[in-house]
Amino acid sequence: MPHRALCGHSHRAELIRVPDGPVIFNPGSIGCPAYDDSTPPAHVSEQGSPHARYGIVTLGSNGQSDRFEAIAVDYDHEAAARQAEQAGRPEWAHALRTGFMPMPG
């Protein structure tokens, strides 16, 4: 039986097939396309688009391969960005609009 790992929290859509190892699937983020985290180790994670994302995994049987489907859904991310601005979070507003964190400066 093939090994599979489904993961989240990185907010980045990725499908990685490790040679002689598992398939690792992360569909992305439903509503937080980018963030920065100053906790060690400090890092930034960016999805690169404002779309909400989810995944569907269909497990193969009878010799068929597994199927991994990452789905991007457009939504009113501008309304969400305006709410972030009203809450005093301009960096989140930028992330919601673009899928990237604003450049420092």
What pLDDT is recorded for position 3?
A: 78
pLDDT higher at 1 or 26 = 26
- Alpha-carbon separation of residue 47 from 11, 18, 43 (angstroms): 6, 22, 14
Domain parsing of the chain, residue ranges: 4-98
CATH number given to 4-98: 3.60.21.10
In total, the chain counts a number of residues equal to: 105
Give the integer Cα–Cα distance in Å for 52 and 72.
6
Cα angle vertex 80, ends 101, 45, to 5°? 25
pLDDT higher at 10 or 37 = 37
Please give the single-letter amino acid code of residue 33: P
Give the integer Cα–Cα distance in Å for 47 and 61.
32
Return the axis-axis angle of helices 90-98 and 77-86, rounded to nearest 10°.
170
CA–chain centroid gap for 62, Å, is 31
Q: How confident is the model at residue 61 (pLDDT cuts 50, 70, 90)?
A: confident
Give the integer Cα–Cα distance in Å for 33 and 11.
6
Q: How confident is the model at residue 30 (pLDDT cuts 50, 70, 90)?
A: confident
What pLDDT is recorded for position 20?
A: 85
| Mean of pLDDT values over 52-72 | 89
Please give the single-letter amino acid code of residue 66: D
What pLDDT is recorded for position 1?
A: 57
pTM, 2 dp: 0.79
pLDDT higher at 6 or 87 = 87
